[in-house]
Amino acid sequence: MRTPARIALLGPGSWGTALGLQLCRNGHEVRLWGHETAQIEAIRRDGENRHFLPGHPLPAGMHPTDSLDAALDEATDCLVVVPSQAFRLVARQLAERLPADFGVAWATKGLDVASGQLLHTVALEELGERPLAVVSGPSFAGEVARELPTAVTVASNQPEFATRFATLLHGSTFRAYTSPDMVGVEICGAAKNVLAIATGIADGLGFGANTRAALITRGLAELIRVGTALGGRPETFTGLAGLGDLVLTCTDDQSRNRRMGLALARGRTVDEAKAEIGQEVEGVITALAVHRLAARLGIEMPISEQVYRVLHEGVSPAEATRALLEREPKPEFG
């Protein structure tokens, strides 16, 4: 019999709400926190997250709140699902409120744009040494909300904490595997969003299935290069958090990052595309962080670099494509 937990879930976007639904299905109580009072009041009034995850009524065990103190009151667990640019601030707020041994998990995918750091490094800086875990993998919020079969990875600096969060999430249609490789899981979850923008651009320009397959394969090579340089385990990149999430995000229009690429190929500006999508597109800010990270490490990431140039230097999708195609031939491996 599963022991009910009381979980502070910080971040009322589509993914945070979907994970809250999954936790409630497993018999847990969820306090869904967001800092925007109007948004939380709308969720409470409508009985669902109509803006980010419409059509999925909140269960009795999910309680929206705009008070972080109320969300954390008597909580047994904390799951952070805020955008990556807000992660450090939220971690800092948690450090002021949580005991030193209280574990923190997150399902945020991205890098700290100011420093280029992985989020577990940010967490260590802000929260100190404590149990930490990241939840990642091929998982669209809408499909989790509809109870379609899904599998993710929970990576942690402490095996027992990975097992705890995997157990909290694991259910009849939601499988959670554990891993010790926080570095590999995090870099995959962040950088794959940049590659999804690239495949969206290519598909939007009408380049076809051959190009899409090439971009995914060579994109995976970029993930492996940067991830292993940071200490990630090679096997992580062919697992759920790596290849699994990469394929999902690059090939299905539920992906906001892929839709960003499609919009750019149609001639939309980044701001226009964001307005059309209506939600956070993590790959936009992550492209800048990955650009800085690759430069710092001296690692070649040509696909990610061209996405950065389109998003942040005003290069056209057609020009970026030409730059990739005109690269000199080289061995595939080595």
- Give the 3-state secondary structure of 70-133: HHHCCCCEEEECCCHHHHHHHHHHHHCCCCCCCCEEECCCCECCCCCCEHHHHHHHHHCCCCEE
- Within a domain: residue 319? yes
Whether 124 and 46 share a structural domain: yes
Residue 332 lies in a domain: no
Span 296-325, pLDDT tens digits? 999 999 999 999 999 999 999 999 999 998
Flag whether 11 is marked binding: yes
* Predicted local confidence at residue 166, as pLDDT: 98
- Please tell me whether residues 195 and 252 are part of one structural domain: yes
pLDDT mean over 47-71: 97
- Quote the CA–CA distance of 57 and 317 in Å, as a whole number: 40
Residues 247 and 261 in one domain: yes
Mean pLDDT in residue range 82-105: 97
- The reply to whether 192 belongs to the active site is yes
Domain containing 34: what range?
6-180
DSSP 221: H
* Residue 16 is assigned to a ligand binding site: yes
Is 13 among the annotated ligand-binding positions?
yes
pLDDT exceeds cutoff 90 at 203: yes
Co-location of 173 and 37 in the same domain: yes
> At which of 145, 180, 215 does a domain end?
180
User: Is residue 331, in this structure, part of any structural domain at all?
Assistant: no
Is residue 173 domain-shared with residue 236, that is, in the same domain? no
Torsion angle of C-alpha atoms 309, 314, 318, 321, degrees rounded to 10: 0
The pLDDT value recorded for residue 41 is: 98
Look at residues 155, 180, 205 and tell me which one is the last residue of a structural domain.
180
99 with 149, same domain: the answer is yes
Question: In the 3-class helix/strand/coil scheme, how is 194-205 assigned residue by residue?
Answer: HHHHHHHHHHHC
Q: What is the pLDDT of residue 228?
A: 97
Number of folded domains that form the chain: 2
138 is in an annotated binding site: no
Residue 333 lies in a domain: no
Query: Is residue 212 domain-shared with residue 116, that is, in the same domain?
Result: no
32 contacts 80 by C-beta, under 8 angstroms: no
257 is in an annotated binding site: yes
Same domain, 156 and 201: no
What is the model's pLDDT at position 2? 72
**257 is a domain residue:** yes
Mean pLDDT of the chain: 96
Q: Which residues pair with 78 in a beta bridge?
A: 8
Q: What is the pLDDT of residues 238-272, one digit of tens each?
A: 999 999 999 999 999 999 999 999 999 999 999 99
Assign residue 284 the CATH number of its domain.
Answer: 1.10.1040.10
Same structural domain for residues 123 and 257? no
| Residues 28, 168 contacting (CB under 8 angstroms) | yes
192 is in an annotated binding site: yes
pLDDT of 11 > 60? The answer is: yes
Residue 1 scores a pLDDT above 60: no
Strand pairing category for 132-136 and 174-179: unpaired
d(CA 37, CA 13): 14
Residue 139 assigned as binding residue: yes
Asked which of 147, 180, 213 is the last residue of a domain, the reply is 180
Annotated binding residue at 109? yes
Is 57 marked as binding a ligand? no
Residue 144 CA to residue 159 CA, distance in Å, equals: 25
Residue 330 covered by a domain: no
227 carries a ligand binding annotation: no
Query: Between β-strands 150-156 and 174-179, what pairing exists: parallel, antiparallel or unpaired?
Result: parallel
Whether 195 and 240 map to the same domain: the answer is yes
pLDDT at residue 334 is higher than 80? no
Q: What is the mean pLDDT of residues 82-96?
A: 97
- Is 92 inside any structural domain? yes
Query: Residue 159 sits in a domain of what CATH number?
Result: 3.40.50.720
Marked catalytic residue, from 88, 120, 130, 192: 192
Are 246 and 111 within one domain? no
**Is residue 249 included in any domain, yes or no?**
yes
Do residue 52 and residue 166 come from a single domain? yes
